[in-house]
Structure 1
C-alpha cells in the first residue's frame, strides 16, 4: 500500500509540474513573442512556437536534473514524428566512413546524368536531423529531378566547433569523388543548406575554390543562412528578436553552444564591446547597415554606438573572426571566384540581414545572384513543408523557387 501511495504521489507531482510548465510557457509566449500580421496562419505559428518552447523548457529541466541535455531531448522527441512516404523517390541510408548520409534519387528513369545536391540541414547545431529533414529532401529531389545527398553531422552538446564543418566536408568530398556511382553530372553539383546548413554550404564553397582534385561546385543555395557572428545589432536583429521560430535567446544559445563561448558575455556582445574598434572599422564596408536597403529599416532601426573593448570578452569571442564562422567577411579574392548563388531571405527572420549583406558582396564582386525574398517568411519556415497541420505556404514557395533555379543550371 505504501508503494502504491508513493507512485500516486509521484504521478500527482508529475501532473502538477506538467501543468505548471505548460502554463509558464503559454504565459511567457504571449508576454514576449511577436507574431507579425503579415504572416499567414498566425495562430498556427503560435501553437508551433509554444510546442517548441515547451520542448526546450522540459529539455532544460532534464538538463538541470542531469537526465539528458536539452538538445538531446528536443531531437529525441522531434525524431518520433512519423515520416511521410514519397513513392516517387528512392531513399537509401548510407555511411561515408563514420558519417551517416541519406541518398534521395528520383524513381523515374533518367535520360542522362542528373544534377546533384549536397544538403546540410539547419537547427543551429541543436535541432534537426536526417529524419526531420526527410520530407524536405524528398520534395527537393522530386521537384528538381535531382539526386540529393543529405549529410548527417554530429551536434551539440557533445560536438562543438568545428565538428559540423569537418563532418560535412568529409561527406561532401566522398560524394564528389563518387558521382558516377549515383548518376550525377559532375558539371552540375550544388551545395544547399538552411540556417547553419547554409553557413556550411557557404564555407565549403569558399574552401573548394582552389581544389583542382574535385569537381567544381556549380552553384550554392543559401536559405535564411547564418553568415556572420560579429554584429548582433543589425536592423533584422532589432526588428525580429522576439519572432519565432528563432528568437534572440535561442539564437544566442546556439551561438554560444557551438563556439563554446560563455553566455555571460551576451550583454557585452550586444553592446559591440567584444571586438576592437579597428576590427569594426575593417569590416564596416561589409557589415554596416548602410549596405542594407532602406525599405528593410522601415519597421524600425536604431543605430547603436559601441562601448569600449572588453579585453576578456574579445579573447573568448574572437573565434568569430575566423571566416569559417563568419564567411561573410572572407577576402574579396575568394568571394569573387565563387559559383553563382540562389539566396532565400525571410522578412521576419533575425538573420535576414546576413543574406542581404552577402547578396550585396557577391553582386559587387561580379558573382551572379538569384534572390528570393519571402515577405511573409520567418526563420525555420522551410521545416513545415511536410507538416500537415503546421504547414505554411511559404515553405512550398521556397522549395519551388529552389527547384526552378536548379532546373535552370
Structure 2
C-alpha cells in the first residue's frame, strides 16, 4: 500500500524535474543574453526560473487546477520577500474595492510632503502590491514623499479596461483627500513601470481639464508600453528574445488582457490588422523613422503593415483607441500634459516606445527628461535590493527616478 501511495509522488517529482530540464533547454535555445549585460549567469538562472514558472502555470491552467496568472503571482510573492523599515509607516487600505498601500515617512517635515501615486507593472499577469513593495518603500523614503501604490484588478478575472479604470478611480480618490495625508496638492507625481507606465500616460491624459482636482506636477514612465499597433520597431526586432519580456510572452499578455484570441498574434505582429487609411493617420507617430539612427543597429525595415486582414482588424481594432494606445491621443490633450521623465532600458523590447512618446510630447511643447540605461533590461528595477540577485542597472533606474522626483 505504501508503495502505491509513493508512486504518484514519484511521478510528480519526475515531472517537475523534467520540466526544470525542459526550461533550461528552452532558455538556451530561445533566449538571447546580450554580451553587454552584466552578470549573465545570474540572468540565465532567473530566466530559467521565469520560463519554469510560466510553463508550469500554463500546464496547471490547462488542467483546470490553477490559473497561470494567479500561480505566477503566488510564486513571485513567495520568492521575493517584502522589507519593512521603521522610518516608514505602511498601511493597507481599500478605496472601494481597489486595494492600495500607503507609505508615509515618519520623519518630521517642515511642510506638506510631496505625493507619489505608483502603478506597478506585470502586464496584468504578474505584479502585485507585495512584489513592488520594496521599490515603493525606497521611493517614499528616498524622496521623503507620501506614496500610494495601487493594486489594480488583473487576469484571469478582469480584462481591459480594468487597469486604467482602477488606477483612475484610486488616483481621483487620493487627489480628493490630499489634506488627510498632508500632501502638497501642487507636488503630486504619477509614476509607473511597464504596464504601470502605460497607466501613467492614460491617467494623466484622462485628468486633463479636470478643474475640480489638483493638477499633476509630473509623470514618470519607466519603460512603458505606449502603443499596441507597431510591433516591428527596431527594439522589438533587436531584443525580442531578451529577458524578461520576450515577444511571445508580451503578445500572450496583450491577447489575454485585451480579450483577443491568440490565433491573431501573427496578424498583430505583421500589422495585417491595420487598415491602410489608419496607418496613414498614425504613421507620423508610429514609424521607425522617429527612432534615432544609433538605435537601429541590425534593424531591417520590414514591409509594414502587412496585407490587410479585415477579420483581424475587427478582432483587434480596440487597440487603436487612445485609451489603450496613449500615443494616439489628440494634440490638444498631449499639449496640456505635465512634464515627463521617461526611463528606458537599452536591452528592452519596449525601449523604442519611450522614444516615440518622447518625440510625441516634445512636438507638442511638453518638457521631457529621458534616461536610457545602457546596460538595462526589462523589469530590472525589481532586483535593486535583492542581495545576490542585484544588478547595477537596477540601482541606476531607482536612483535616477528618486533624483528626478527630488528635483521637482
TM-score (norm 1): 0.98
How do 1:340-355 residues align onto structure 2 when only pairs under 5 Å count? 340-355=339-354
Per-residue CA distance 1:167-202 (angstroms, 9 max, x = gap): 111111110000011111000001110000000010
Match of 1:28 in 2: 26
Partner residue of 1:288? 287
- Structure 1 residue 307, shift from structure 2 partner: 2.5
Task: Determine the C-alpha separation between the residues in 2 that align with 1:122 and 1:106.
Answer: 24
2:301 and 2:308 mapped to 1: Cα distance? Answer: 21
**Partner of 1:389: helix, strand, or coil?**
helix
- Deviations 1:78-118, CA, capped at 9 Å, x for gaps: 11132222232211111111111100111211111111000
Question: Which structure 1 segments of 5+ residues have no match?
Answer: none
In the alignment, what sits opposite 1:46? 44
The secondary structure found in structure 2 opposite 1:345 is strand
Q: What's the secondary structure of 1:39's corresponding residue?
A: coil
Contact 1:239 / 1:301 at 8 angstroms: preserved in 2? Answer: no
| Deviation for aligned residue 1:301 | 3.3
| Corresponding residue number in structure 1 for 2:67 | 69
- The separation in 2 between residues aligned to 1:279 and 1:47, in whole angstroms, is 43
Q: How many angstroms apart in 1 are the aligned matches of 2:214 and 2:372? A: 30
8 Å Cα contact 2:274-2:305 kept in structure 1 = no
* Counterparts of residues 8-407 of structure 1 (less than 5 Å): 8-81=6-79, 82-407=81-406
Q: What secondary structure, in the 3-state scheme, does the structure 2 residue paired with 1:173 have?
A: helix
CA deviation map 1:199-240 (0-9, x unaligned): 001000001011011000110000000100001001011000
Q: Distance in 2 between matches of 1:133 and 1:378?
A: 17
Instruction: Answer whether contact 2:125 2:253 (CA < 8 A) is retained.
Output: yes
Kindly indicate whether the alpha-carbon contact (under 8 Å) linking 2:345 and 2:375 is maintained by their aligned counterparts in 1. yes
Moved over 3 A (4+): none
Q: Please, what is the CA RMSD of the aligned residues? A: 1.0
Deviation at 1:19, TM superposition (A): 1.3
The alpha-carbon distance between structure 1 residues 301 and 140, as it changes in their structure 2 partners (threshold 3 A), is farther
TM-score by length of 2: 0.98
Counterpart Cα distance in 2 of 1:209 and 1:160: 25
Secondary structure of 2:61's aligned partner: helix
Q: Secondary structure at the match of 1:54?
A: helix
Q: Report how far residue 119 of structure 1 moved.
A: 0.2
3-state SS of paired residue (1:140): helix
What residue ranges of structure 2 are gaps of 5+ in the alignment?
A: none
Question: Aligned-pair distance for 1:260?
Answer: 0.2
Q: CA deviation at 1:308?
A: 2.1
